[in-house]
Structure 1
Amino acid sequence: MDCYAVGDHAEFAKTVSEYDVYGFAGIVGDFYGVHVNEEYAKTTRFEKRIAQGALSVGFLATVMGTMAAKAPNPGAVSHRYDITFTAPVYIGDTVTARLDLADKDEPRNTCIFTATVTNQKGVVVASGKTYLKVL
Structure 2
Amino acid sequence: MAKRANMDVFQIGDNSQFSKTVSEYDVYGFAGIVGDFYGVHVDEEYAKKTRFGTRIAQGALSVGYIATVMGFMAQRVPDPGAVSYRYDVTFTAPVLIGDTVTARLDLKEKDEEKNTCIFDAVVTKQDGTVVLKGNTYLKVL
Which TM class, normalised by the smaller chain length? over 0.9
What are the within-5 Å matches in structure 2 for residues 1-135 of structure 1? 1-135=7-141
Identity over the aligned pairs, expressed in percent? 75
Cα deviation code 1:105-132 (max 9, x no counterpart): 1000000000000000000000000000
Task: Give me the whole-angstrom Cα distance separating, in 2, the residues matched to 1:79 and 1:106.
Answer: 16
- Give the TM-score normalised by the residue count of structure 1: 1.00
Unaligned runs of 5+ in 2: 1-6
**Which residue matches 2:3?**
none
Unaligned runs of 5+ in 1: none
4+ long deviations beyond 2 Å: none
Q: Secondary structure at the match of 1:20?
A: helix
Q: Secondary structure at the match of 1:49?
A: coil
Which has the higher Rg, Structure 1 or Structure 2? 2
- Give the TM-score normalised by the residue count of structure 2: 0.95
Task: Give me the whole-angstrom Cα distance separating, in 1, the residues matched to 2:69 and 2:16.
Answer: 6
1:72 CA displacement:
1.1
Q: Letter of the aligned partner of 1:80 in structure 2?
A: R
